[in-house]
Structure 1
């Protein structure tokens, strides 16, 4: 049954321009659409559905902050470049009508909390102007803190979520993948500081991972991944046949592939860096432009038991590996650990996703 559902969604995705079968239409300009906002269409979706509830979104700029808390929702846009979902919340910003701030994990433009979600042919963007703030001196009166601004958050009951031909855009903390399994194919994920992060299992296939510039030529100019994968999970972030690219203005040798994040966590004996967050990031058969640092990876500080940021977690303490990297940013040295051919075979799609077959995944 699940295979038939996936096949139906795959057929829908590839034939979307030819009067696709959908359950709701969103059109910001009105017309004959059922809904003028995506939020209204989501609110009208069934609480539970045995097959994908497809919401077709016509081209437009949808300034909405959305949460998906119902299973089997599919958001399919008319085109990736012209179907734009955007919001500008950031961690240090006060929530409307409150003295409390969003915080990193609630700043997302789109938050998925339910299983079997899928999306295609659209852009999800956090529009917070990170660069304008980044350009200000540290003591400037308009300088703000808490610049983490998530575009897409996968949390709560999120699992078996799939994206094809999507653009996920932000700067710091663009993609928060905390729980479950997620799959990204033929897509673009762009940001600068730790822009793919947290504890979930995410597979990226044939996608562009784009580093965006910092203001003032800061070094390092960013970090691609900051995984906090639990030690009991064999897979964190896996990149298969991807392309690591950069915007103009991102210097050569300025971006590590990742750093190990040990989130500050409450335990019975105190609050400190989670020792079981043994981050995992693996790049296989991936093109790397010259912005990737020769060392490949870097360290990250964590909270000690005394509350200071005095703990240092090195790349060697994490599960950071490569196999068949190529391009001007590729290198083989003692700092960039390589998988053997036999080890790389354990990172095939079916193994990483533990048997889940994503909708619209190629054979």
Structure 2
């Protein structure tokens, strides 16, 4: 009898173990299946959001996609770009592609900070143009002078903005020597994580206001005479043409990094500096201004010394970071013309050569870098 009870207990325990083992297998299979489904869905969402197949730039994160068409001649949903922007709801969570047909859009456009994930796509920077003509000395709606930052033909405060194959222009004429208040921006970017590809920026003084945030410019054309890229953005310019129309003296970049702990700065990689001069390649707008040129070609238009410390009074030459790495062309030697412009080695140049300078791994698709 005792033996029989022991056999029954042994059988019962074995059955329990088998049942537990079976349950564990089923749970593990469910986890694996769910994980595989999550991986598949994540991959699908990533590919959908980057839209690699049609080479449009879309942001990773928002859900859904919407297309809005603009045609100044009446062939789209709207005739003006601002009307299309107004049609995007506040706190937008979709990728919104605003397709802008060829034509000249004579208007001032603002993308507010409440409308992220918007893309402007033109039919080519030679044929799709948004332009306006404000200058810093012009009166604003309140009767007071606009000042530089409010002159931009297009202003973007929103995060995750992108633009492709379109031109932004300010048609105000270049100032004559000694004239004040003629700053006239074509574009102002004040949002974070903005991407530009195949775009044109045309103006005279202060063309591109690279105000704040992380930005990536690829294969763009930027034209101006004095400080035609300026602000305190943290931006990379890759394979861009920087074209000077200076008649007496000009300058390309004025970077406004104010404190040593700021990560801001301008990195120009594989760019071309062309046009007329003489011009400075960089000016110390901020006490800790940071500008680097790498693998960049310079026409013979660079001013003696190459760089300017802005006011010659605050010892900025001791606090700025102006760097050069493997630049070339007839004007390249002048870029090395002051002792406080550094000739970088690979180790010190590398942080400015890759998209991680703008934390690009997290918001720029590999095909867009």
Question: TM-score, normalized by length of structure 2?
Answer: 0.79
Quote the residue 1:258 is aligned against: 282
Q: Is the 8 A contact 1:196 1:225 kept in 2?
A: yes
Q: Is the 8 A contact 1:6 1:360 kept in 2?
A: no
Q: Is the 8 A contact 1:203 1:240 kept in 2?
A: yes
Quote the residue 1:270 is aligned against: none
Q: Is 1:146 matched with 2:174?
A: no
CA change 1:259–1:10 in 2 (3 A) is farther
Offset of 1:298 from its aligned partner?
A: 1.4
CA change 1:52–1:128 in 2 (3 A) is same
Q: Is 1:213 matched with 2:246?
A: yes
CA change 1:9–1:212 in 2 (3 A) is farther
What is the alpha-carbon distance in structure 1 between the residues aligned to residue 269 and residue 242 of structure 2? 11
What is the alpha-carbon distance in structure 1 between the residues aligned to residue 49 and residue 209 of structure 2? 25
Quote the residue 1:320 is aligned against: 322
Pick the structure with more helix per residue: 2
Quote the residue 1:271 is aligned against: none
Q: CA offsets, 1:303-351, max 9 Å, x none?
A: xxxxxxx834444431100100100011245534111111111223332
Q: Is 1:67 matched with 2:100?
A: no
Secondary structure in 2 aligned to 1:197?
Answer: strand
Quote the residue 1:344 is aligned against: 349
Offset of 1:353 from its aligned partner?
A: 1.2
Q: Is the 8 A contact 2:66 2:95 kept in 1?
A: no
Q: Is 1:81 matched with 2:126?
A: yes
Q: Is the 8 A contact 1:259 1:315 kept in 2?
A: no
Quote the residue 1:202 is aligned against: 235
Q: Is 1:39 matched with 2:82?
A: yes
Offset of 1:244 from its aligned partner?
A: 0.8
Count, aligned residues: 312
Q: Is 1:107 matched with 2:133?
A: no
Secondary structure in 2 aligned to 1:4?
Answer: helix
Q: CA offsets, 1:42-93, max 9 Å, x none?
A: 0001223334200000001001111111100000001110100000001000
Secondary structure in 2 aligned to 1:226?
Answer: strand
Secondary structure in 2 aligned to 1:337?
Answer: strand
CA change 1:90–1:80 in 2 (3 A) is same
Which one of the candidate residues 293, 311, 320 is aligned to 2:313? 311
Q: Is 1:124 matched with 2:159?
A: no
Q: Is the 8 A contact 1:298 1:314 kept in 2?
A: no
What is the alpha-carbon distance in structure 1 between the residues aligned to residue 227 and residue 48 of structure 2? 35
Secondary structure in 1 aligned to 2:342?
Answer: coil
Q: Is the 8 A contact 2:218 2:237 kept in 1?
A: yes
CA change 1:104–1:241 in 2 (3 A) is same
Q: For the pair shown, which has the larger CA radius of gyration, 1 or 2? A: 2
Quote the residue 1:306 is aligned against: none
Give the gaps of 5 or more residues in structure 2.
Answer: 1-41, 58-64
Offset of 1:10 from its aligned partner?
A: 7.3
Q: CA offsets, 1:273-310, max 9 Å, x none?
A: xxxx4110000111111111242211211xxxxxxxx8
Secondary structure in 2 aligned to 1:105?
Answer: helix
Which one of the candidate residues 2, 10, 13 is aligned to 2:56? 13
Q: Is the 8 A contact 1:178 1:200 kept in 2?
A: yes
Q: CA offsets, 1:201-235, max 9 Å, x none?
A: 01100010111123xxx2xx111111111422234
Offset of 1:159 from its aligned partner?
A: 0.4
Q: Is 1:291 matched with 2:301?
A: yes
Give the gaps of 5 or more residues in structure 1.
Answer: 15-20, 139-143, 263-276, 302-309
CA change 1:153–1:90 in 2 (3 A) is same
Matches within 5 A, 1:159-308: 159-214=192-247, 218=248, 221-229=249-257, 230-246=259-275, 250-251=276-277, 254-262=278-286, 277-301=287-311
CA change 1:211–1:231 in 2 (3 A) is same
